A and B are shown apart, each in its own frame.
Chain A
């Protein structure tokens, strides 16, 4: 039987607010345990929450970016359950009236095709603390620094049909939130986590199969692997005549498998009800319009502009708009040198290669966009040739010089275009290579083209790469042909 995979994602995005969603405590990552938890975060008797306006603005910005409805009124509810790292015994969330309504996200697939994934809604909620099971000798440590950190939970429709599409969707969300600057998107630190709902059904069947929810998957790669494992597991179960149980599962990246956490029968009744300590959030139109007006250019808009206005290929446009940092870097290189295609080639070629080798994000590139732009400009105005340009890039990467011009000057890489000087070098190479000259002379004229390469290489070497390659080629040909 042919099976179709159906996937829906719940993505939790940690919003980059200064303080927590309901208290004034800092949200900075990595502080000593329980140093960033105030009386409100600790759920002390008598404390009350006060909603962080910045979190509201960020949620609305996200909604606007995915063309979602922004309801005038949204309401916070309490989700009640006991857990040691949940100080109040409930999580303040939005169950019935979320801040962001239905919207959609465009995803790009590897073949360059795009698809739309519908977003059911997105709601604001507070994060819980962390339970620490190591280093406590059979006990559990609780760190409440994270308790109360604002999260935006983005719930998709079950619109994805493959692990690749799910990963592409997650990347699209990542790119939107980082473009908006509403999250650092750092998955390793838990700033973006997702729960994956997976089911399979026979191709052509209208109703969905029973789904499993895989919790807390925290990388693009793990999302793909968790889905692949789940699909295989479910298909195998069904083909063996079994049934899929609705349950919550956990992905274990070390064993590359998902494991059952609890079934639906064991599921909690969260007893949601409106939080009486918080007023409904009422957004007036002027406020929403103001946020709309202040939205930055978003990834899909940028990608479209890179193609239409700059003439980049769909692939290049996709790569260069994938993150806000990459797009900003590219645009600065382009603005500095004035040529989009050359800028794209350098950013995606030499720069991306070096970044990959060192495992650095573009934001940590040792070569700044301005430096790279100036370097490209020197290639364009023939100050240096391509080969020298790579040397300049390497020097800048290694911190040997503040600018391309400084490196060119210091290393004497300026291109030699004086024909007298080039002719002198050619004459010397010809004089030093009698055997190769004889071979050239004896060869059929149509084979001579290939043989000229040796002489070009020698001349370039003699010039330490600085001779203008076109001039070298042309002058060599004239001189060698004159000998024939």
Chain B
């Protein structure tokens, strides 16, 4: 059951092979059995899951089931879920039960989906390894010595381990695509504004975007159908109709123009990762695509610009965690300043504190122009790089990450950790969509191919990813853990 894709499960439910309750019970049992080691969930919600499953089964009996009715999924713990602990991976919100549902959660509930629980993540989505979680690290289902990537590491690991057929993630600098690559699954970061941010605990508001993580491009398309669209509660969501993202999946790729950014194949790229990516590109050539090299000349400014803009926004977004209204409050504060200082010092982890300090500094009087204003200028240049490239080609391809999943504890230095996101971060600065698809292995650790398109080309990206998955079977490979326990 757990080895099926979301689309296959939908067919099986429709055919009456099993009920949503049976499927949900099966997934909950797997979580119980396997997640002790993987640690991909912070909160599992069996009662809510089973009652949602029963409701879906009842709806199906009445002939009212939609395409996603009764299908389980896991939700990154950055999404607010009414009545359920919502921690953002932080001690700061270790006691926070959200009074409301995020818009996308509301939409998935309305579509009849069954939430199994909330997945582990880097605290406040700040990290690339899931090691910055107040709830402990997550192990990679392919190799327990490796990280699952981050910040949506719990979501990626849960899907890879067959604990959930799909998950919701968020991506501010690569937080869907990089863990998807590390865990051998498919993850889509939509165009900024395509999916509502309402109810997603903010990290960097101008970069945050929610997206689907699943085994296949088709599954991602199904989920995107349900979560995309304008939201009157999010002014930055774009008033634009939502197509059926599954409609073009089977379109042939002949004539597709692929660009390979020179800057994505330079120093620091693991040769075996590069080999896998170039092999994938050959597959596309065999499908009728043409390939050329392009340049994104400002690529090397992306990480510095990101680490000005994202911490600046974060320093402000995280000011509300002050120990006054919700979240962690220190014991017996002596006065207001003591309450602020100790609540925040105790509640936030090291990386979060580092970024708050960076952001506070770069926004300060006398530094603002040199950092923030300059970074915004760089951001426009980066965006222009992409727009120029998309004048020449339909999609860009490259590695999702310069290396396969690294070992737990391997990247102790924050800057070397930041450099992990070199191929993903510019995409958020430009606001364009990107998808990571499994494209091979280095040893037992998966490699992800990243495919990028210009704004609002999710249909095309999913089509390009799906065609690759028709021609290859990397996405069908399962970690030993899954096979053993079938």
Contact = CB atoms under 8 A, between A and B. Distances in A.
Interface of A: 39, 42-51, 78, 80, 82, 84, 87-90, 142, 269, 271-273, 276-279
Nearest to A43: B320
Interface of B: 79-80, 86, 88, 93, 96, 98-100, 102, 197-202, 204-206, 232-236, 312-313, 315-316, 318-320, 322, 324-326, 336, 340, 360, 363-365, 368, 372
B235 A271 contact: no
Contacts of A39: 99-100
29 contacts: A43-B320, A43-B325, A44-B100, A44-B326, A45-B86, A45-B202, A46-B80, A46-B98, A46-B102, A46-B200, A47-B199, A48-B197, A50-B233, A50-B234, A80-B315, A82-B340, A84-B324, A84-B336, A89-B320, A89-B322, A142-B324, A271-B315, A271-B316, A271-B363, A273-B316, A273-B372, A276-B236, A278-B235, A279-B235
A269 B364 contact: yes
A278 B233 CA distance: 11
Contacts of B200: 46
A277 B231 CA distance: 13
A273 B310 CA distance: 12
B94 to A, nearest CB: 13
A272 B363 CA distance: 7
A46 B198 contact: yes
Contacts of A80: 315-316, 319, 363
A395 to B, nearest CB: 56
A47 B197 CA distance: 9
Given A43-B325, A269-B365, A276 B205 contact: yes
A48 B320 contact: no
B320 A88 contact: yes
A276 B315 CA distance: 13
B336 to A, nearest CB: 7
3 pairs of A and B residues whose beta carbons are closest in the complex: A89-B319, A271-B363, A276-B205
A84 B343 CA distance: 13
Contacts of A269: 364-365
B243 to A, nearest CB: 24
B364 A46 contact: no
Residue of A48, A277, A279 most packed against chain B (CB within 10 A): A48
A130 to B, nearest CB: 14
B235 A45 contact: no
Contact of B93 (A45, A78, A272): A45
A43 B96 CA distance: 13
A279 B238 CA distance: 11
Contacts of B204: 276
Contact of B96 (A45, A48, A89): A45
Contacts of A51: 235
A84 B360 CA distance: 19
A433 B117 CA distance: 107
B108 to A, nearest CB: 15
A49 B236 CA distance: 10
A460 B93 CA distance: 86
Given A89-B316, A276-B205, A45 B88 contact: yes
A419 to B, nearest CB: 79
Contact of A50 (B80, B232, B326): B232
A135 B236 CA distance: 42
B322 to A, nearest CB: 6
A128 to B, nearest CB: 13
Nearest to B101: A46
Residue of B199, B320, B360 most packed against chain A (CB within 10 A): B320
B325 A42 contact: yes
Contacts of A87: 320, 324-325
A43 B322 CA distance: 11
Contacts of B233: 48, 50
Contacts of B320: 43, 45, 87-89
A271 B315 CA distance: 10
Contacts of A78: 316
A272 B367 CA distance: 12
Contacts of A84: 322, 324, 336
Contacts of B232: 50
Nearest to B337: A82
Contact of B312 (A43, A45, A273): A273
A50 B198 CA distance: 11
Contacts of A50: 232-235
Contacts of B336: 84
Nearest to B197: A48
Residue of B99, B319, B340, B363 most packed against chain A (CB within 10 A): B319
Contacts of A44: 80, 98-100, 326
B363 A273 contact: yes
A100 to B, nearest CB: 21
B100 A271 contact: no
Contacts of A42: 325
A388 B299 CA distance: 91
Contacts of A271: 315-316, 360, 363-365, 368
A269 B364 CA distance: 7
Residue of A51, A271, A278 most packed against chain B (CB within 10 A): A271
Contacts of B206: 276
Nearest to B323: A84
A177 to B, nearest CB: 27
B102 A273 contact: no
Nearest to A270: B365
Contacts of A82: 319, 322, 340
Contacts of B202: 45-46, 277
A88 B204 CA distance: 15
A279 B201 CA distance: 19
